[in-house]
Amino acid sequence: MSPFRDEACAFCHLPYAGFSGPIPSVNLTMVAYPGSFHFRAGKRTAQRYTYSPDFPVLEYNAVQGLFFGGNFWDARATGYELQSPDSEQAQHPPVDTGEMMFPDTACIAFRLQSAAYKTLFEEVWGDSLDIRFPHDTEEICDTPGGNFPTATPIELTPQDRAKANDVYNHWGQSISKFERSLRVSAFSSKFDAFLVGNYTMTSEEMAGYKLFDGKGNCNSCHLDGRSTLCTAQQYGCSTTSSSLTDTGTKALVRPVFTCFGYANEGLPLNPRVAIYYETTPDFFGFTQNPLGFGYRDLGLGTFLRSGPGSATNPNSTWTQFAPSVDGQMQVATARDVALTPPQCPTTEAPGPYFQKEFFHGGYIKSLKQLVHFYNTRDVFPFPVTSGHCPAGTTEKVNCWPEPEVPNNIDMTTGNLMLSDTEENQIVTFLQTLTDGFTTPYPDINTFTGQCMSGGTAATQGNELLIPTPPLPPCATAICDVAPTPGPSPIP
Ligand code: HEC
Ligand code: HEC
C-alpha cells in the first residue's frame, strides 16, 4: 500500500518492538522513519500500537478542561466519523506524504482489486471492488503525494468514489480489529498473571509497583486500576514516605495504563528529528517541511488549530482551547514499553540491549532516563537547548534542557525525590508490563540485526547528541494562528 510497493505498516511497527520502531539505528539517530520514497521522513517516534483500539472517541471534558480519547500523539485521529479513533488512525499513513504517500485514498481500493485477499475482503465486508478506475490510475498511485492539485486526483464517478470510500473505511476497520486482537493487545504480561494470582512479583518488582502507585505518581495518568496514593499535587508525593502501601483490592482487571488523556511533560526539542532538515524540494518537487527549525511541535494545540503536520480539527468549538493544551501529547500506555526481541532481552545498557526511543520526539533513549526525567526535570533545569548543557554537567543526568513548549507543563511530576535505587525499581516494574509471559507473543522472532552492549543506561545514546542550532522564532503558520499560544511565548 505505497507508491513504490516498499512500505507496509510493519516497516515502522514490528511485534518485536511492541509494534513500535523496529530499527535501532533509526531510533538512535533520525527518530522518524523513512517513507515509501526513502528520502522523506516524518516528525515523531512510531508509537506502539498495542492497546490503541482502547482509546475512546476524542471528547472535551468541560468540567476538567481536558481532552480524552483519540489516537496519535496529538489526537488527530479523533474517531469522529467511524466512531473508532483507531480505525481512522489506520487511514492516515497510506496518504501521509512522509509515510506510505499515496496521493489519493482511492489507491487503497485500486490496489485491493489485485490483492491476493480481494475475495476475502469482499466476503467479509460485502463491498464490491468492481470500481471503474480510469486508465491513468496506476500512474497516479505510483507517484508520491504532495504535489497533486487536489486530494482526489483519480477521476471517479460519484458512485465509484462512494464505493472507494467504503472500501477505505472498511480497510481501516479491518486493521483496527487486528490491533485489538490478542495477537497485538495480548494481556499476557507478568502483571496480568499477577492480577489473577498466577505470578508472584519479586521484591524489586513489587517495590517498583508501589512507587508507581505512590511516590512516583505514575498511576495518576498511567492508570493501573489501583488507588493513587499520592496526596501532594504540586510535586508528586515528594513530601510523603515511599512505604505507602495500597491495602485496597484491585478495582480493574484489565488496566491499560493510560487515562486516555493528554499532558505536556516538558520534553526538550530534539534536533535529531529528520523533519528539521527536509527544507528543500525533493526529487518529486515536494518540500516536507518548508519551516525548517521554525517548526515546533505543539501536539494537541497544533491539531486544534488544524496546523502543519496535523489534520483538520472536525469541531470548530474546540479551537478556542488550543492555548490550554499546547505541548500536550497522548498519555501513551505504559504497557509493552520494554518489549524487545528475544535475543536482546532489555532496552537498557549495558545490555545486550535493543535500542528503542521514547516519548514523542525520541529524546529519551532508555527507561532509566525516562524515569530519571520524571524524577529530576525540575531539579536540574537549564535555560539551554539540547547539546548545550554547561561544562561540568551531563545532559540527561544532571542537566535537562528547556522544554520545547513552556506552557501547560504538568507539575505533578518533575521532582519526585526518588533515589537511584527507586528509579531502577520503577524500571523493573515497567518490565513486568511486557506481553508474552503467559503465552508467547506472536511473530516476535524476526529481528535480524545486532544487539548493542556497553555503557550505562543513564547516558545511553548520549554520544550521538548534537548541538541544537540557534533556533529561529516559531513559524507564523504554527504560533501566530489564533488563538495564539500563551502565556509564555514559544521560544
Ligand atoms: C513511516 C513510518 C510509519 C508507517 C509506515 C506507519 N506508521 Fe503508524 N505511526 C508512526 C508514527 C511516527 C506515529 C506517531 C505519529 C504522530 O503522532 O504524529 C504512528 C502512530 C500509530 C498509531 C497510534 C497509536 C496510538 O496509541 O495512538 C497506530 C495505531 C499506528 N501508527 C498504526 C499504523 C498502521 C495501521 C499503519 C499502516 C496503515 C502505520 N501505522 C504505518 C509511524 C508509521
Ligand atoms: C500527568 C500525566 C503523567 C504522569 C503523572 C506520568 N506520565 Fe508517563 N506519559 C505521560 C505523557 C503525556 C506521555 C507522552 C509524553 C510525550 O511523548 O511527550 C507519557 C509517556 C510515558 C511512557 C511511554 C513512552 C513511549 O515512548 O511510549 C511511559 C513508559 C511512561 N510515560 C511512564 C511513566 C512513569 C514511570 C511515570 C511515573 C514516574 C509517569 N509516566 C508519569 C503522562 C504522564
140 close to 110: Cβ distance less than 8 angstroms: no
Peptide bond into 352 cis (omega under 30): yes
- pLDDT of 252 above 90: no
pLDDT tens for each residue of 32-87: 999 999 999 999 999 999 999 999 999 999 999 999 999 999 999 999 999 999 99
pLDDT tens for each residue of 157-204: 999 999 999 999 999 999 999 999 999 999 999 999 999 999 999 999
51 lines ligand 2 (CB under 6 A): no
pLDDT tens for each residue of 79-113: 999 999 999 999 999 999 999 999 999 999 999 99
Beta strands at 329-330 and 262-263: parallel, antiparallel or unpaired = antiparallel
The C-alpha R_g of the chain, in whole angstroms, comes to 22
- pLDDT of 235 above 90: no
Residue 99 Cα: closest atom of ligand 1: 1
459 close to 393: Cβ distance less than 8 angstroms: no
- Listed in sequence order, the residues at least 6 apart from 386 whose beta carbon sits closer than 8 Å to its beta carbon are 268, 269, 270, 271, 363, 395, 401, 465, 467, 468
Q: With CA atoms as reference, report the closest residue to 106 among 51, 155, 38.
A: 155
347 lines ligand 2 (CB under 6 A): no
Q: Which of 4, 5, 14, 47 to mutate to test the pocket of ligand 1 (most atoms within 8 A of CB)?
A: 47
Cell of 62: 468541560
pLDDT of residue 250: 75
Distance of alpha carbon 200 from alpha carbon 83, whole angstroms: 39
For residue 428, the tally of other CB atoms under 10 A from its CB is 21
Element (H, E) at 166: helix 158-180
pLDDT of residue 233: 46
Calculate the alpha carbon distances from 490 to 100, 300, 326, 472 in Å. 31, 15, 10, 11
The size of the chain, in residues, is 491
Distance of alpha carbon 206 from alpha carbon 217, whole angstroms: 15
3 close to 38: Cβ distance less than 8 angstroms: no
Q: Which of 6, 7, 13 to mutate to test the pocket of ligand 1 (most atoms within 8 A of CB)?
A: 13
pLDDT tens for each residue of 331-389: 999 999 999 999 999 999 999 999 999 999 999 999 999 999 999 999 999 999 999 99
pLDDT tens for each residue of 422-473: 999 999 999 999 999 999 999 999 999 999 999 999 999 999 999 999 999 9
Q: With CA atoms as reference, report the closest residue to 57 among 264, 332, 314.
A: 314
CB within 6 Å of ligand 1 — which residues? Answer: 7, 9, 11-13, 33, 35, 42, 44-47, 49, 52, 71-74, 86, 89-90, 93-94, 99-100, 175, 330
Q: Which residue's CA is the nearest one to ligand 1's atom 9?
A: 46
413 lines ligand 2 (CB under 6 A): yes
**319 CA → ligand 2 middle, Å:** 25
**410 CA → ligand 2 middle, Å:** 11
- pLDDT of 243 above 90: no
* % of the chain at pLDDT higher than 90: 92
375 φ/ψ angles, rounded to the nearest 5 degrees: -75, -35
pLDDT of residue 238: 44
- pLDDT of 249 above 90: no
Residue 375 Cα: closest atom of ligand 2: 38
368 close to 462: Cβ distance less than 8 angstroms: no
- pLDDT of 23 above 50: yes
Q: With CA atoms as reference, report the closest residue to 70 among 413, 373, 318, 367.
A: 318
Q: Which of 222, 364, 431 to mutate to test the pocket of ligand 2 (most atoms within 8 A of CB)?
A: 222
pLDDT of residue 247: 65
Calculate the alpha carbon distances from 363 to 44, 414, 456 in Å. 10, 16, 16
**426 CA → ligand 2 middle, Å:** 12
Cell of 178: 487486528
Say which residue the cell 511486557 belongs to: 434
Q: Which residue's CA is the nearest one to ligand 1's atom 39?
A: 9
Q: How confident is the model at residue 234 (pLDDT cuts 50, 70, 90)?
A: very low
pLDDT of residue 227: 74
Q: With CA atoms as reference, report the closest residue to 77 among 69, 68, 85.
A: 85
Q: Which residue's CA is the nearest one to ligand 1's atom 5?
A: 9
